[in-house]
Amino acid sequence: MPMPGLIWSVLWPPFLAAVAALLLWSLFGPVVALLLFSVFLLLLLLQHAVNLRALANWLVAPPGAEVPDGSGAWGDVFNVIYQSGRVQSSSQYQLSAALERFQRAAEAMPDGIVMLNEADQIEWCNPVAETQFDISNQRDHLQRITYLVRQAQFTDYLSAHNYAEPLVMKSLRNADLTLSIQLVPFGDRQKMLLSRDITQLERVETMRRDFIANVSHELRTPLTVVGGFLETFEDAEHINMEQSRRHFQLMHDQTRRMQGLVDDLLTLSRLESKQEKMPEEAVDVRALLQTLHKEAQSLSAGRHRLHLELGTECNLLGNERDLRSAFGNLVSNAVRYTPEGGDIVLRWERKGAEARFCVQDSGIGIESQYISRLTERFYRVDRGRSRETGGTGLGLSIVKHILTRHQGRLEISSEPGKGSLFCACFPERRVIE
């Protein structure tokens, strides 16, 4: 009801009583008129008192309580309050729903979020932030963030009030965790602390720097050799052909080394490209291994005893070019790193549901602490000896990528002084009987 109508509904009973009192005054005199008017006002006051009590009880009652029955203007008052309460409840429900949606969205974010008040106290945080900072939304409510994250660089960043650039820091509780932290001021001197796990990005960046450094280092030696000989030929007045042949042979060897490195890098780039779809076919593994066995004999030049054991006739579903590259790397590594007079066994077998190609040698072996890193790019247990054998340091990394694309895995076991065993294992769904 509009406010003027509500006011009139309150004032019209006393006004009518006053008019009636004036009429009674003229008819019965002032005593009767004032007595009746006073009784009316007393009854009206009693009615207001009863309705006021009903209003007070209704206001303190639980939500959804029945609206009191009010006579006259009080019925309109109760109705106005009821309608206003419904509007307020609807608005409150919408705000609560919006706040709940916001909290759910913030809790589902992959980044950490911590809401801080003007005193840098925690008002709210999502589960990711709880894990990253080892804090609790319930236990640490209104605790100062600097009491819980006790790192000098974080405290300095918080007090510097210069939040244009994020802070990158290691977690004290988890040394393997690297966080990128940024504060965003908002509202009345409040702050939102955003944290992102960049551990993987840091690892990729480290791998990129190491990769560039390793490639540069691997190319420097052959380029130096070739460049040195070319300068010698340029400055020589008379060329000794016998000596030049030896120089040409060395330059040819270094050129092949650079070519092998470039080929391996291109192979790795192709294997890591997710856009290239791997064509698959039935690969005749027995024929492939017979070819690799002949190539290994040629590479060995009689310095080793090579054996080929074909224990199964099954084939593989896969890419023949990639499998040839993976198997060839395992075989050539065995030839390179096995001393003269050693034994090398190439074995194609079934073990349970899996099919396995294994290369076993009687070389110097590898200590156990180095085995987990053998498939890293350019990783070498003995750098000097590896360069003497002509390897690029990318062979096992290529093998790992090829096996991953075939849902396979590489198993390595070795014992110093007794040799090593490298097995490429393929799941049953890749085996063709």
Taken in order of first residue, the domains within the chain and their CATH numbers are 3-103 (no CATH), 109-197 (3.30.450.20), 204-272 (1.10.287.130), 281-432 (3.30.565.10)
Least confident of 24-33, 64-73, 364-373: 64-73
C-alpha–C-alpha distance, residues 76 and 83, integer Å: 11
Amino acid at 271: L
Counting residues of the chain whose pLDDT is more than 70, the rounded percentage is 84
**Interacting residues of 293 by C-beta distance below 8 A, sequence separation 6+:** 306, 308, 331, 346
What SS3 state is found at 21?
Answer: helix
Across the chain, mean pLDDT equals 81
Are 414 and 371 in contact by the 8 Å Cβ rule? The answer is yes
For residues 181 and 60, the model is more confident at 181
The dihedral over CA atoms of 306, 309, 315, 317, expressed in degrees to the nearest 10, equals -50
C-alpha–C-alpha distance, residues 262 and 252, integer Å: 15
What SS3 state is found at 379?
Answer: coil
Total residues found in the chain within this entry: 433
> Could you report the per-residue pLDDT of 312-332, keeping only the tens digit for each?
999 999 989 889 988 988 998
> Could you report the per-residue pLDDT of 172-194, keeping only the tens digit for each?
777 778 899 999 998 888 899 99
Sheet with 281-283: list strands edge to edge: 281-283, 315-318, 431-432
Q: State the CB neighbour count (10 A cutoff) for residue 122.
A: 24
Are 111 and 180 in contact by the 8 Å Cβ rule? The answer is no
Longest CA span, the chain: 155
State yes or no: pLDDT of 383 exceeds 60. Answer: no
Q: What is the CA radius of gyration of the chain?
A: 44
Q: How confident is the model at residue 427 (pLDDT cuts 50, 70, 90)?
A: very high
Least confident of 18-32, 183-197, 238-252, 373-387: 373-387
pLDDT for 386: 47
Dump strand ranges (E) for 94-189: 112-116, 122-125, 167-170, 178-186
